[in-house]
């Protein structure tokens, strides 16, 4: 493992010493931008700037805490530390000051962990969708929250959302729910962090003189800012403060929640003048092979950073990238190194993480999600599986097949969630209040599911047919039967065909059907028994102490993190790039990309995923003869016909990148210069310049 030098590069030095004009810093992954910004703040203080004249804005709380700690260590009590804030904490301070001056009315801060918030968001959802409380799924609440976040990001009031064509593609229930959410905030005199951004903007607009003391504003992750945040920066800067925006358009992956990549890709340079553009093009995180494939991938985007990502010549580890066709996750332990410092399994969707979580439980490998404490356990409580309705339906159906009832759930911590998911997606047309009544009775340990279902489904032909389907499963299998065979019985009874169709959110509905498809494939390839599946889900064995914990994360959740080993699963072109919600039942039913922009954002998402790796990157893909041909020929083009493996894997140009990387490490790059592609030749030229 290489150690990073304490010296700075020439690119970093230019940024550290910059003073005067606005600046745009375009930084590749792992380029040491935090260290560079910390030293830049130190230099500003050394040159006479007062701490209260400097404002540093980080994208989230974790980044703020980390930056503050590194800044304090660097300053060594020689200078007072300037303000380091998130956008939300800055807006809170501005609003609180305005309240003290009597410019704004006093309101309580409503955070998402408060009972009042849960009550308000559920009331808003009920109003928007005329839904019963018992029928509100957490995933659908989260979809509404994302929509409200998007509205706040654009600074759009409810009446504007209702008439704005930008929001026309969202469900009308969302729009009505946002209106009600806004009304409830006013009624109960609450403000949220997001609503405070708009209030803070109004305060600065009316009294800009209150903020003229600022001379330097530094904003990290500028590719992720939204319209309100961008306008807030313009108002704070006025015509006196210099703004340094730092980011990477290649890592802009939050457009779906209001972020605007064009702010860092042109608008900032147009609106902040005079300006100087800097680059941090050297990564210290990974070796040449990964840099080369990352450049090959992102080169297919129209909107991208002009400079290549270059591995620092002397201070980066060798990174091995490999593709594994048809790899079954039940063999995931073969990719893990016992005692390794850090390993992550990443995926585009939560559906693939559910499949992965099952595999890790079967292999007794400890795991955690990024926001969980890694305690080495795989307890029944420590899982997100029971938040997925397809898992709940399968667990209940397997129990009916093997035990003939659900008594095994009597004391299980996930009982309520499993019952709710099963009853919701079992294909039963419940009358108002009926499902909640059955679920409440089933929570009683002595409840008989067949008696309750017979009573509830006695009226109507459809109800009687569904009851017969369920009865056909009773005691129809043994624990020693293959799980794939039991799954087939459940599918024949019609219990899998309703997965996802009860969701009012199309993206969530699609994700559930994908999840069922992934689990079906996993059961077929792993050859586990029904008993082993139930044990892994309901009563997982103690994790194998020979392995360090594995982090499970979507690409979005992994942004800003890094791992020694990264395993990426779910690389099917029918699912990644993701686009309009279509049911995925086979590889041949590939989804059409709705626009060039959406495919470019998906490509950036894959770019973020692969650049989390430091030493090893494993790409798990389905069997695809055309991909094998691409690799054999050394191509890196996008296939014109819909492939089986993700088109993004085709675009990596892995064969040529491996050859060039090997030549760099063996110092024979000059010998292959004329035999490689244009992008690799450009990489070699940049590398020679750095050396």
User: Rounded CA gap, 63 and 56, in Å?
Assistant: 11
CA distances in angstroms from 572 to 229, 245, 524, 556, 627, listed in the order given: 36, 36, 17, 18, 12
Answer yes or no: is 1 within a domain.
no
Residues 421 and 515 in one domain: yes
Distance in angstroms between the alpha carbons of the first and the last residue of the chain:
21
Name the token pair of 13. 């030095």
Tell me the pLDDT tens digit for each residue of 101-126.
999 999 999 998 899 999 999 999 99
User: Across 308-427, where does the E strand assignment appear?
Assistant: 310-311, 320-325, 343-347, 367-368
The answer to whether residue 81 sits within a structural domain is yes
Instruction: Give the rounded distance of the alpha carbon of 590 from its chain centre.
Output: 22
pLDDT at position 375 over 60: no
* Whether residue 439 sits in one domain with residue 407: yes
Tell whether 575 and 475 lie within a shared domain. Answer: no
Q: Which of 359, 352, 368 shows the shortest CA–CA distance to 512?
A: 352
Q: Cα Rg for the chain, rounded, in angstroms? A: 27
Domain-terminating residue out of 164, 188, 212:
188
CB distance 487 to 538 below 8 Å: no
Kindly indicate the confidence band of residue 673, based on its pLDDT and cuts at 50, 70 and 90. low
Question: Would you say the C-alpha torsion 360, 364, 365, 369 has a positive or negative sign?
Answer: positive
pLDDT value at residue 259: 86
DSSP codes, 37-87: HHHHHHHHHHTT--GGGEEEEESSHHHHHHHHHHHHHHHTTSS---EEEEH
For residue 46, the model assigns a pLDDT of 97
Say if residue 407 is in the same domain as residue 502. yes
Q: Is residue 514 part of a domain?
A: yes
Q: Has residue 100 been placed in a domain?
A: no
Predicted model pTM:
0.89
What's the pLDDT tens digit per position in 135-180?
577 778 888 998 999 899 888 888 889 888 888 888 999 999 999 9
246: tokens are: 């730092």
Domain final residue pick, 280, 312, 331 = 280
Residue 3 lies in a domain: no
222 and 160 share one domain: no
In the chain, how many domains are there?
4
Residue 5 forms part of a structural domain: no
In sequence order, the 6+-apart residues with CB closer than 8 A to the CB of 274 are 21, 22
Average pLDDT estimate for 190-204: 93
| Residue 22 near residue 272, CB atoms below 8 Å | yes
In this structure, the answer to whether residues 206 and 77 fall within a common structural domain is yes
Whether 99 is covered by a domain: the verdict is no
Centre a 10 Å sphere on the Cβ of residue 66 and count the other Cβ atoms it contains: 15
4 has a pLDDT exceeding 50: no
Q: End of a domain among 158, 188, 218? A: 188
Q: Do residues 366 and 392 both lie within one domain? A: no
Q: What is the DSSP letter of 114?
A: S
pLDDT tens digits along 52-73: 999 999 999 999 999 999 999 9
Q: Which helix (H) or strand (E) holds 465?
A: helix 461-473
For residues 408 and 508, state if they share a domain: yes
How far is the C-alpha of 143 from the C-alpha of 20, rounded, in Å? Answer: 44
Together in a domain, 232 and 172: no
Which residues lie closer than 8 Å to 30 by C-beta, 6 or more apart?
A: 283, 284, 285, 286, 562, 611
Residue 364 is assigned to a structural domain of this protein: yes
Within this chain, do residues 205 and 224 fall inside the same structural domain, yes or no?
Answer: yes
Tell me the DSSP string of 8-37.
--HHHHHHHT--SSEEEEEE-TTS-HHHHH
How far is the C-alpha of 312 from the C-alpha of 3, rounded, in Å?
Answer: 12
| Count of beta carbons in the 10 Å neighbourhood of residue 19 | 14
Domain match, 533 and 622 both: no
Residue 650 is part of a domain; what is its CATH number?
3.40.50.300
- List pLDDT tens digits, range 213-267: 899 999 999 999 999 999 999 999 999 999 999 999 999 998 877 888 889 999 9
Whether residue 293 contacts residue 607, with contact meaning beta carbons closer than 8 Å, is answered with no
pLDDT at 2 over 50: no
CA distances (Å), 660 to each of 321, 614, 630, 637, 688, in order? Answer: 13, 18, 17, 17, 14
The domain in which residue 479 lies consists of: 384-538
The pLDDT of residue 501 is 53
Which helix (H) or strand (E) element contains residue 195?
A: helix 193-206
Give the per-residue pLDDT at 543: 72
Statement to judge: residues 67 and 209 lie in one domain: yes
């Amino acid at each position: 493992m290489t150690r990073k030098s304490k010296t700075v590069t020439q690119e970093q030095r230019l940024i550290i010493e910059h003073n005067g004009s606005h600046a745009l810093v375009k930084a590749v992954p792992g380029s040491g931008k935090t260290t560079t910004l910390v030293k830049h703040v130190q230099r500003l203080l050394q040159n006479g700037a007062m701490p209260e004249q400097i404002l540093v804005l980080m994208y989230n709380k974790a980044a703020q805490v980390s930056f503050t700690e590194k800044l304090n260590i660097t300053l060594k009590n020689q200078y007072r530390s300037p303000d380091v804030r998130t956008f939300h904490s800055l807006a809170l301070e501005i609003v609180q000051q305005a309240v003290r001056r009597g410019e704004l009315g006093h309101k309580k801060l409503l955070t998402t962990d408060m009972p009042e918030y849960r009550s308000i968001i559920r009331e808003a959802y009920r109003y928007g969708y005329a839904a019963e409380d018992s029928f509100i799924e957490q995933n659908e609440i989260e979809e509404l929250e994302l929509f409200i976040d998007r509205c706040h990001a654009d600074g759009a009031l409810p009446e504007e959302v209702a008439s704005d064509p930008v929001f026309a593609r969202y469900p009308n229930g969302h729009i009505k729910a946002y209106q009600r959410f806004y009304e409830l905030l006013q009624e109960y005199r609450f403000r949220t962090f997001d609503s405070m951004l708009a209030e803070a903007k109004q305060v600065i607009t009316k009294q800009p003189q209150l903020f003229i003391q600022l001379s330097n504003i530094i904003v990290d992750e500028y590719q992720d800012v939204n319209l309100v945040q961008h306008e807030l920066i313009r108002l704070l800067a006025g015509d006196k403060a210099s703004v340094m925006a730092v980011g990477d358009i290649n890592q802009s992956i939050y457009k779906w929640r209001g972020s605007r990549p064009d702010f860092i890709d042109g608008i900032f340079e147009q609106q902040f003048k005079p300006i100087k553009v800097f680059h941090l093009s050297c990564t210290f995180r990974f070796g040449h092979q990964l840099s080369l494939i990352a450049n090959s991938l992102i080169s297919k985007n129209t909107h991208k950073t002009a400079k290549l990502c270059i591995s620092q010549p002397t201070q980066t580890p060798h990174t091995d990238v490999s593709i594994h066709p048809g790899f079954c996750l039940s063999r995931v332990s073969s990719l893990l190194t016992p005692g390794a410092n850090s390993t992550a399994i990443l995926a585009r969707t939560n559906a693939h993480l559910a499949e992965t979580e099952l595999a890790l439980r079967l292999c007794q490998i400890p795991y955690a999600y990024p926001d969980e404490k890694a305690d080495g356990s795989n307890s029944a409580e420590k899982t997100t599986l029971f938040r997925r309705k397809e898992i709940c339906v399968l667990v209940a159906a397997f129990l009916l097949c093997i035990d003939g009832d659900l008594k095994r759930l009597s004391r299980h911590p996930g009982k309520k969630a499993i019952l709710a998911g099963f009853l919701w997606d079992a294909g039963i047309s419940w009358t108002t209040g009926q499902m909640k009544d059955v679920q409440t009775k089933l929570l009683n340990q002595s409840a008989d599911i067949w008696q309750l279902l017979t009573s509830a489904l006695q009226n109507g032909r459809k109800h009687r047919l569904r009851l017969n389907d369920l009865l056909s499963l009773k005691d129809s299998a043994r624990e020693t039967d293959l799980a794939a065979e039991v799954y087939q019985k459940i599918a024949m009874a019609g219990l899998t065909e309703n997965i996802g169709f009860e969701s009012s959110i199309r993206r969530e509905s699609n994700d559930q059907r994908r999840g069922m498809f992934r689990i079906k494939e996993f059961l077929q390839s792993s050859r586990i028994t029904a008993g082993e599946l139930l044990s892994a889900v309901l009563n997982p064995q103690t994790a194998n102490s020979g392995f360090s914990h594995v982090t499970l994360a979507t690409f979005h959740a992994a942004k800003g993190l890094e791992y020694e080993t990264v395993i990426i699963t779910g690389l099917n072109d029918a699912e990644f790039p993701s686009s309009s919600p279509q049911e995925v039942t086979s590889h041949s039913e590939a989804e059409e990309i709705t626009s060039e922009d959406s495919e470019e954002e998906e490509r950036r998402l894959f770019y973020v995923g692969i650049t989390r790796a430091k030493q090893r990157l494993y790409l798990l893909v389905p069997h695809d003869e055309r991909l094998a041909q691409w690799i054999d020929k050394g191509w890196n083009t996008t296939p014109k016909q819909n492939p089986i493996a993700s088109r993004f894997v085709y675009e990596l140009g892995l064969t040529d990148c491996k050859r060039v990387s090997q030549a760099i490490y063996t110092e024979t790059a000059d010998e292959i210069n004329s035999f490689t592609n244009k992008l690799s030749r450009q990489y070699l030229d940049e590398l020679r310049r750095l050396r």
